[in-house]
Amino acid sequence: MSRFSLEGRRALVTGANAGIGQAIAVGLAEAGAAVVCAGRRDCDETLALVAAAGGRAEPLALDFADPMAAKGVFEGEGFDILVNNAGIIRRADSVDYAEADWDDVMDVNLKALFFTCQAFAREVLSRGGGGRIVNIASLLSFQGGVRVPAYTASKHGVAGLTKILANEWAGRGLNVNAIAPGYIETANTEALRADPERSKAILDRIPAGRWGAAEDIAGTAVFLCSPAAAYIHGAVLNVDGGWLAR
């Protein structure tokens, strides 16, 4: 079997209805995993893409407005892989930022991520390890950004949680890593791409000279979930076209 194969593995991908989460779900299925596509919106499009690629997938309704939504999801279900992709963003100047927006972003992006990792790990560690967690971080795990204080704080937190969980679980057979996407062509960046000046400023800084595709993130996730990445623990891997190198 290829060291990049996920045959016989069972994965849950959160926020799998569109964008990066959708691409990751399809990528994992193409590599052989049976994928559960979780989201607060329906994942019908993702399921159709997986089926068209010859893969296996099923839906699961999860709304991380309740940070404990995944508490009982993993018990006895044979999951080997967890990809925490679900996230939200609220924009406002920091002097005007509302407490409700702060709480909503932190609940979904950080609190739900931690307790989903915890629920997954309890199940995997109880059977002796052999699992993979991939968290979706951000360039704003390293930079400050503008007008997104809660998102920036949450994504710094994702990087930190990835490291502490790796410290605790690496020796017990559970790999925890993160991917920090750069500027990717998704709904979240539509406004930036539609602004000629902002889009040009972004592209001028990216050594690769293009916006990323969701599939660029999917390939990295497949690698981190594969046997080829067995000795990678606590990494936050930038997939940004070279943005942070400039």
d(CA 44, CA 41): 9
d(CA 84, CA 37): 11
d(CA 111, CA 66): 9
| 73 close to 60: Cβ distance less than 8 angstroms | yes
**In this structure, how many other beta carbons lie within 10 angstroms of the beta carbon of residue 13?**
36
Any idea what DSSP says for residue 36? E
Q: Which residue has the tokens 């993993």?
A: 74
Say which of 97, 151, 183, 231 is annotated catalytic: 151
Active site residue 231: no
Q: For the residues of 69-115, what is the DSSP string, one character each?
A: TTTTTSTTS---EEEE---------GGG--HHHHHHHHIIIIIHHHH
**Closest residue by Cα to residue 30 from 58, 54, 63:** 54
d(CA 189, CA 88): 13
Q: Point out the residues that are catalytic.
A: 151
